[in-house]
Chains A and B, each alone.
Chain A
Amino acid sequence: MVSPSSEPNELKLTGAESDVVLLAKQITKVFPGILALDQVDFKVYGGKVNVLIGENGAGKSTLMKILAGVEQPTAGELVLDGHRVSFKNTREAARLGIGIIYQELNLFPNLTIAENMFAAREVTKNGVVQHREQEELARKVLGRLEQPLDPRTLVSDLRMGQQQIVEIAKALSRDVRILIMDEPTSALTGTETEALFRIIRELTAHGVAIVYISHKLEELLRIGDYVTVLRDGKLAAHARAQDVNVTWIIEKMVGRTVRAPSRHNRFHESATGAPMLKVDVLSLPRAGSGFTLENVNFTLNKGEILAIYGLMGAGRTELFECLMGLHPEATGSVYLNGTLLGDATIAERIEQGITLVPEDRQRLGLVQQLTVGQNLTLASLRRHLTWFWLSDRRENESVSAIIRELGIKTRAASAPVTALSGGNQQKVVVAKSLLTKPQILLLDEPTRGIDVGAKAEIFQIINRLAEQGLAILFVSSELPEVLAVPDRILVLSKGKVTGEFTHDDVTEEKLVRAASALQQTDHPTDREQSTILQTT
């Protein structure tokens, strides 16, 4: 599986075997249609920071949920202190000292910090909640975290980073032996991160095992003791942090096999005439201060595929939202075929040939109550009229043609859209956009949550559309896709363009370095947090 040269000796690790407090053995997890984890072994060492890393969809979150009792493995077993255990739910895991801090915050905004920390296990006396006592306890934990927050503050009044601190404090206020942290620093400022690291060091010194998940590679190597890399639901590598470096991690994460289909040879009119889309000093101010997008400039030509790569919260989704006119507060200019789009509505933009396939197809792409056919024509109803009513004939023609063209597997056009598999639902969303006869197609994470076969099909479709002259802009956080498919890649970090590469001169390392440039500078916004919420 891995080459001996880059692999630190496994034997070195066996010496510490007695320190393993929690062992996941041959864990397999199957979701309908997806093999999320495939016989994965994972060791959690006591008093150490155990880093878990992998691309989106590699199975990190699933593994973590199994450790915390949220999900149950299809096969395999968990061994805690040498005893076989199984958790039906998080409460059982919590009783055995396993705590988890989710990436998406699980706080009640309408309650105070103290009430949140003691939710469902309130300190009571004769059935009456002892608020003062709770607040005192909360204050102590917050003090340990070097956060002088008033425990009586409502969580809704806190900044995102502070809410993250409360989430951490909540976990710490219980007696945890194993603490799982899913991207705990994604919403923290530099100083808050430093404080968190001190806390982690303090916890490990007291023998608490930390399972740490993050996309920030430098950070992982700084804080981590052991590194486990997952790829495509399989264990890709396991090593001591001191023996490895960023390049090694990237290599293991990406693997040698590239899953996405190769780039087709295309003729695109980059040299001839004006670009189809021109984005000029686009900035999106964020509530409070600073920018979600800052001075973004780029062009897109007819028949070209341009990928936007960046970490979560880099501003990728917001860029697309600006292009669709969802942010009237954005400044700068967007030109479509030389015409300024200005404050055109979404309908007008669709009319002019720009259309979006959103990231979250359940929440933003599909109307679940409608049939496959009704979803397909939703954005192009005007094209299917006789006089002023909808023509069944016209609708049926378009629908059956596009179903055939994209190979959407459905029983009938009248089937409920919810009956389709994830990949086919995604094709429906793409097809809905195509029926508007666009010139520019914006795809936000078009392959999220669909299986490998469907991913390949989606990219075949994208390649074919580009050959037909469409300009395609897609966002992806999957390196193989970004490396293989587009003609050009634009890297965003913290709302700024931090790199631009052509297909021929791009490497994984260049991409990852550009994407993590400017990271850990300041705290992100609520908007970014909501992006984080969407993705899980």
Chain B
Amino acid sequence: MSSAVSSIPQTRKQTGASIGLVLFRLRAFIALLVLIGIFSFLTPSFFTRDNLIILVGQTAINALMAIGMTFVILTGGIDLSVGSIVGLAAMASGLLINRGVELPPLGVVVYFNIPAIIFLVLCLGTLVGALNGILVTRFSVAPFIATLGTLYVARGFAQLSNDGATFPNLVGKPELGNTGFPTLGADTIAGIPIVIWIMGVFTAIGWFTAAKTPFGRQVYAVGGNERAAELSGISVNFIKMAVYMISGLCSAMTGLITASQLVAAHPAIGESYELNAIAAVVLGGSSLSGGRGTVWGTLVGALVIGVLSNGLVLLGVQEFWKKVITGLVIILAVVLDQLQARFQQRLALRSA
């Protein structure tokens, strides 16, 4: 449609617009840098090695859940059960370490070593995710409702596991061969906490899966246009099952880390964590209607929340104001998201 005569100025305008668009897209990252700059300027204790390690360590908990959540949200779903899965996983690890598994017919109690416990707990989280997936695919329950139900069920089982009491002192016993659980949350490798390494590995795998594998592309397609995806030969139900299982797995990992850090498992661990995870995903630029978002974006989103929270504490801002500010940041992010969508649409129309 564009004639040769008008092509030169149009191109220039377009590049200008695209640069604007790129900056717009990177806004979460830019916001992160700006926040870091502001806090470093306002309080000298912010930009120190020790504080940054604490900050990233705190963020890791949320980031792990948010990475799993990203996959769910990319398909246009939502997983409200992640916080409860964190609690259930923490309690399961506590149960396995302190009490073992009783086998009534044999009258013996089996204790597992720590790697086996980690494996079992991860399986449990994946299984709860699979339950969500079955509800969403086989029984066509809306993801919001299905995972809301699982939220209660998983939390209930977390409380039932020890009659609402805490599993204290999860250090294990040498004679049972199950010591070393606190290592996960407390130790460092090359001066960096294991927790941060785990976050790094999960982020890398998550990014690779989403961006580089057929599975990832299919996740985007299902979220973008389910019918078109189906007609392209994509097994929509398989993809949906898988994303809830991924989310369950990530949440179980979070539960293990939390219990390990506390060296105890309390049934209320992870309450309302789902909201932080969703906030991180949204801040990272994912669209709740599906089909748009990245794992890197989610990591940046989680870091924005982490920096905000950490920095405001260092500044001595009251906890209640912290909540107000966090909420405003999330709203601002979504408003900007809408503006970007409109801006992109205009650009697309112009270049058509």
Contact = CB atoms under 8 A, between A and B. Distances in A.
A331 B214 CA distance: 34
Contacts of B234: 347, 378
Interface string B201-239: 000000010001110011011011101111111110000
B348 interface: yes
B227 A374 contact: no
Most buried by B among A356, A370, A415: A370
Contacts of B292: 369
Interface string B337-352: 0000000110111011
B225 A366 contact: yes
Interface string B150-165: 0000000000000000
B214 A416 contact: no
Nearest to B216: A390
A324 B227 CA distance: 13
Contacts of A369: 220, 223-225, 287, 291-292
B1 A379 contact: no
A411 interface: yes
Nearest to A395: B217
B228 A364 contact: yes
B228 A419 contact: no
Interface string A411-432: 1000110111100000000001
A345 B236 CA distance: 12
Contacts of A346: 230-231, 233
B271 to A, nearest CB: 34
A389 B208 contact: yes
A370 B212 contact: no
B132 to A, nearest CB: 23
Interface string A331-371: 00000000000000111011100001010000111111110
A363 B231 CA distance: 11
Contact of B227 (A350, A364, A421): A364
A374 B214 contact: no
B229 A367 contact: yes
Contacts, number: 91
Interface stretch (A290-298, A380-388, A398-406): A380-388
A364 B351 CA distance: 24
B235 A368 contact: no
Contact of B213 (A324, A345, A388): A388
A331 B213 CA distance: 37
Given A347-B233, A347-B235, A366-B225, A389 B212 contact: yes
Contact of B228 (A365, A377, A415, A418): A365
Contacts of B344: 416
A418 B217 contact: no
Contacts of B232: 350, 378-379, 432
B231 A382 contact: no
Interface string A96-115: 00000000000000000000
A385 B225 CA distance: 23
Contacts of A358: 228, 231
Interface string A169-205: 0000000000000000000000000000000000000
A32 interface: yes
A390 B213 contact: yes
A98 B106 CA distance: 84
Contacts of B213: 388-390
A350 B218 CA distance: 16
Nearest to A417: B348
A263 B291 CA distance: 41
A377 B232 CA distance: 10
A273 interface: no
Interface in B64-94: none
Contacts of A347: 233-235
A381 B218 contact: yes
A439 B30 CA distance: 50
B225 A350 contact: no
A127 interface: no
A33 B1 CA distance: 9
Contacts of B230: 346
B214 A368 contact: no
B348 A370 contact: no
B207 to A, nearest CB: 12
Contact of B352 (A350, A364, A421, A436): A421
B221 A367 contact: yes
Interface in B164-185: none
Given A419-B348, A419-B351, A324 B235 contact: no
A123 B230 CA distance: 46
Contacts of A364: 225, 227-228, 231
A367 B225 contact: yes
Contacts of B228: 358, 363-367, 378
5 contacts: A350-B232, A358-B231, A382-B214, A385-B214, A419-B347
Given A346-B231, A351-B233, A382-B214, 6 more contacts: A350-B232, A367-B229, A370-B220, A378-B228, A385-B214, A389-B213
